[in-house]
Copies of this chain bind each other. A is one copy, B any other.
């Protein structure tokens, strides 16, 4: 059941109930081999556990059983959009997250600054993970790129990452990456994946030739790899499908990007929950819905740092009273996907979800963990079902049929 497909015709007008969705990135984990307890089970989470015990709990699968999502599809699923159907290229997500001038017809791509040797072989795919400052300087140099008939916008992201947007006639996104994924080989030649892609490949090759020239004297970053060509995604907007004025509070570019895609207003904040809470408190009055994103749990999971993930979860727990005090009619705490520290990567395991509302059905013995939510009244659901549940608990949907 995909929320965005079914809610549109059932929206009740003039409802002023509010929904707050806290997304803890990479929330779900796996049992530690020594203790048999997951990160969530190890952490002391008095506020989240109390919330779970008083709420409807369950587990959400972003893509269905067995499929591991990237951050983009995982978020689209949470927002009620079929992630198998709505595919957003990584470049498009980056461009949106950076707030670049990016609109229908434009093509975006990710740029990774890299190091190539005198023969053009890639020796470091991340150019020694240059600083964001250095990345900004290099992007400044690349402002000199000039391609006839094409407007090129380049902006730094974090560390060695940047994004480019091409605007011009006849550009499409069916182009393969130049990132060879390994070192000691030249970048992959860009290849069009359809007959319409010829112009885009020419433009991108011209771009790469000029970049090589402009960065010739730089070290360690003297080239870029291009990845994730994507057109501007045209998704149904939250206002239209859910009737919600929606706010996104997220410090990291990509999450701002996916929120912007679905029509959320994106406000400035850094990535700390301290700042995010302050921004939320300041702006939530003007909105029906807010999405708040916490990134670091995912990074700790990716780093395989079980203890750090536990510590971060305990830190998040301390903000729960503050989030409850904001007084949303529906408060949901969940994750976009699991990132078990024991795996050191995203995984397919379903993610705990807690939905607090006067219309929830608490179940004795539930707590805020993978196994603690298993007995909850929501059961196991696709993530795409969450938004309809949020709207229902906010009493924003009328009944279907007489």
Contact = CB atoms under 8 A, between A and B. Distances in A.
Secondary structure type dominating chain A contacts: loop
B370 A374 contact: no
A87 B400 CA distance: 10
A235 to B, nearest CB: 14
A375 B361 CA distance: 14
A362 B31 contact: yes
B400 A68 contact: yes
B371 A359 contact: no
A378 interface: yes
A62 to B, nearest CB: 9
A30 interface: yes
A251 B23 CA distance: 49
A6 B84 contact: yes
Contacts of A371: 361, 363, 377
Interface residues of A, number: 62
A9 to B, nearest CB: 11
Contact of A68 (B69, B87, B399): B399
A83 B385 contact: no
Interface of A: 1, 3, 6, 10, 30-31, 36, 38, 59, 63-73, 83-84, 87-90, 93, 228, 340, 342-343, 345-349, 359, 361-363, 370-371, 374-375, 377-381, 385, 387-392, 397-402
25 contacts: A3-B66, A36-B362, A59-B379, A65-B381, A65-B385, A66-B389, A66-B392, A66-B397, A67-B392, A67-B400, A68-B399, A69-B400, A69-B401, A70-B399, A71-B402, A72-B401, A83-B400, A88-B401, A89-B402, A340-B359, A342-B359, A347-B392, A349-B359, A379-B379, A379-B380
